[in-house]
Structure 1
């Protein structure tokens, strides 16, 4: 269901040296999988060709982190696969997750949610996400970006990051009751 592609993003192709071992390890642990490193310029090409109505918004984000967050939703909607932040270290193959699910999202760790931000419910982390191509949840995330930018433009957590994704998920599930979205702790 979920294509065997690992997507990662960085603002340029020149990723910091300390990430190289983890990137290599992803491929060692998941042989036969594709690996796509996306840059901001790559995302502009994808958005410009497939989602042109969102390109001006993407280019207007005030910080790279906004674009790095937003581009994940376009990538997963269009291509599907697995998005992993560069600072994630692989421990096991991902194959089991890709054959039985349409979308897999995970909750942020306890410390981020409850201690650092004082939230009462766990957020969905956007640093690890699995999806089949064209899943409506990620289209919902893409379509929610303009409204979030209008309300929370300078706050990346609210405009494009984990708080945004959590809000989109809650609205999506309240509207659709879609059982194909799996949330893991």
Structure 2
């Protein structure tokens, strides 16, 4: 059973007003869910308590947006609940029937069902969305994703020098590699791209089924961090 916990992270507790408003929307749409917020310092505490074998590696993660990638897998495995990026808002309450699954993952890019949606020049294959994820505590997918993310980052000598490095090391391409082979498992729910992935700016309008709106505030900042990994610019 997926617990009613909402997990969010930002580099510091000093949240921009926009993200404070986003959290208010989450609280309004999910009034009986516990809201849990983590700064970078609190992420370190989470790893120390639940994944001490990785604690020494956290300072080697090259930029903040990637730390958020590692965090989402860790907190979902350790605590369960719903993780969502700070630059998301719910369009409707989270469906109760989802909570019966061990894990809930949506597609971000699914041209087989949405052929008119934006085409990504760097990737032709379908891939999963990781800005919103749900899990029961101890779901194997997120333990596997966390371990593989650290392996991939170590193989890169803890450097991510391209957009692909970021996406493939701990981002949506990594999640796709881990989770998609299990798409037939009955205890896992895989959602079509219009549940989480709709984006008006990329010719993929919302549908009646859409649950999450992603504001994509972190997109440009994330790309800058790839090139200027020595700067902590926060993340969305």
TM-score normalised over the length of structure 2? 0.71
Q: Map residues 1-185 of structure 1 onto 2, 5 A cutoff.
A: 1-109=1-109, 115-152=119-156, 153-154=159-160, 155-170=165-180, 173=182, 178-185=185-192
Whole-Å Cα distance in 2 between the matches of residues 104 and 95 of structure 1? 11
Q: Which runs of 5+ in 2 are unaligned?
A: 112-116, 193-236
Question: How far is the alpha carbon of 1:61 from its aligned partner?
Answer: 0.7
Structure number with the higher helix fraction is: 1
Whole-Å Cα distance in 1 between the matches of residues 26 and 109 of structure 2? 22
Q: Name the CA shift for 1:36/1:68 in 2 (closer, same or farther; >3 Å).
A: same
Whole-Å Cα distance in 2 between the matches of residues 117 and 133 of structure 1? 36
User: Could you report, residue by residue, the CA deviation over 1:138-166 in whole angstroms, capped at 9, with x for unpaired residues?
Assistant: 11112212221133440221111111111
Whole-Å Cα distance in 2 between the matches of residues 8 and 140 of structure 1? 21
Q: Which runs of 5+ in 1 are unaligned?
A: none
Aligned length: 181
Question: What is the aligned-residue RMSD (CA, Å)?
Answer: 2.1
TM-score normalised over the length of structure 1? 0.89
